[in-house]
Amino acid sequence: MKLLLVRLGALGDIVHALPVAAALRDRFPDAQIDWLVDARYAAILNFVPSLVHRVVIGSARAGGEGMGGATRPGAPTWRGMLAAVAATRREHYDVALDLQGLIRSAAFARLSGARRVIGFHRRHVREAPASWFYTETCEPGGVAHVVDKNLAALSAFGIDRRPRRFPIDVPSSTALAAVREWVATGGRAGYALINPGAAWPNKRWPPERFGEIALSIAGRHGLLPVVLWGPGEEATAGRIVESSGGAARLAPQTGIGDVLALSRDARLMLSGDTGPLHLAGAVGTPIVALFGPTDPARNGPWDPADISLSRFGDCVCHYQRRCRRSRACIEDISVEDVRGAIDRRLAATKHHA
């Protein structure tokens, strides 16, 4: 059997789809399972080699390759997308499963030439015309979380048992080695990760508040706060370190493998709704999450012990990248709210241990 999963991006959404690949691998151990993904987010699939045989990249910069092995990822181009379609058609898939529900992702699934093209019912896709491309649709029912919605698609394969399993191979990391050295030399009990960045401005909590929380984490819990940063975020991370009075340290430069390694070893992750939050959830890191325009019931941590602080109920720009007010609703989450949530989450971890 040859199966094609279509989930183009973004990073957190791909993490949320990994349990589907895990369940399919369990049910069809000898199947060829390929994944059609946007080149910008393909790196996470390097750490799940047991789930997928190959990755077909659906976008590349002009002049780049359009299928597995592209080395110059960028925004989608027609050349990259056409090359991805050609690559999928050569495989003669038995089934293509679209987990994204966009017109573009559904069209990719249909253009693969698969005999069965499966997606969600039009009530449950992000763009209703996407359902026109499917030969079969599935109904997820009343499930809330996107991980469980994705797993509901397994009914099309006769799979009833649907565990949330994330079999990620966490690599060794020089960034982790450096942070462990900082913890040892500073006599700390461990470290907590602070991830202030997010692609949407209205998902970001103010840096100065993160700084106050970093000082609290160090003083109340004896942990070293380590501030993650990605491209274009180093200045923001530096403001957090400065406003913490030096209690926090700027993380070394990290890739996805480093974030996985750092997260698995961390005592806590504090983050908004963005990729590193979901990577941390996949490797079992205790989490305190901050939500504004997105719903934690759908997108939040799935461990019942984790804590989400949300202003989604008061938000007027649900799932919109820009706030329609002068002040983002996530800013209504106070330092006191976060401090209390961290106290409760760390106490729950100690009790469980």
Fold for the domain defined by 174-352: Rossmann fold (3.40.50)
Determine how β-strand 287-291 pairs with β-strand 268-272: parallel
Residue 70 pLDDT: 32
Q: What is the mean pLDDT of the chain?
A: 92
Whole-number Å distance between alpha carbons of 145 and 217: 30
Residue 68 pLDDT: 32
Looking at the chain, the whole-number percentage of residues with pLDDT higher than 90 is 82
In the chain, CATH 3.40.50.2000 covers 2-157, 174-352
Is there a contact between 257 and 238 (Cβ–Cβ < 8 Å)? no
Residue 74 pLDDT: 52
Whole-number Å distance between alpha carbons of 315 and 320: 10
Whole-number Å distance between alpha carbons of 167 and 171: 13
Q: What is the pLDDT of residues 20-78, one digit of tens each?
A: 999 999 999 999 999 999 988 999 999 999 899 889 988 654 333 333 333 334 556 78
Is there a contact between 133 and 106 (Cβ–Cβ < 8 Å)? yes
Torsion region of 131: left, alpha or beta (phi above 0 gives left; psi -120 to 50 gives alpha)? alpha
Tell me the mean pLDDT in the region 289-310: 96
Whole-number Å distance between alpha carbons of 70 and 281: 28
Q: What is the pLDDT of residues 128-153, one digit of tens each?
A: 999 999 999 999 988 999 999 999 99
> What is the CATH architecture assignment of 2-157?
3-Layer(aba) Sandwich (3.40)
For the beta carbon of residue 145, count every other beta carbon within 10 angstroms: 18
Residue 352 pLDDT: 57
